[in-house]
């Protein structure tokens, strides 16, 4: 999913930080705002769900 996000949002990305973690945590933030959290939802998101959240927060 990271590769797809990079491709689709490349013009908007000025910084990308990948933080390794254990326990399967997957979180996406845009402008310091959490837009998706696997830990909060208890499931892995579909790409369109994350991409829509990113678009809303650009």
Q: How far is CA 47 from CA 4, 25, 44, in A?
A: 8, 16, 9
Whole-structure pTM value? 0.79
Q: What is the pLDDT of residues 3-53, one digit of tens each?
A: 999 999 999 998 888 888 877 788 899 999 999 999 899 998 999 999 999
* Cα first-last separation, the chain: 18
Q: Are 44 and 38 in contact (CB under 8 A)?
A: yes
pLDDT of residue 35: 92
Query: What SS3 state is found at 44?
Result: coil
Domain boundaries, the chain: 2-56
Q: How many CB atoms lie within 10 A of CB 52?
A: 14
Q: Which pLDDT belongs to residue 17?
A: 84
Q: What's the pLDDT at 56?
A: 94
Is it the case that residue 55 has pLDDT exceeding 80? yes
CATH match for 2-56 among 3.30.2320.80, 2.170.190.11, 1.20.1330.10, 3.40.30.10: 3.40.30.10
């Amino acid at each position: 999913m990271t590769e797809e996000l990079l491709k689709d949002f490349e013009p908007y990305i000025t910084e990308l930080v990948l933080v390794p973690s254990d326990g399967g945590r997957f979180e996406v933030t845009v402008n310091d705002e959490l837009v998706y959290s696997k830990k909060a939802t208890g499931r892995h998101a579909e790409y369109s769900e994350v991409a829509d959240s990113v678009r809303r927060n650009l």
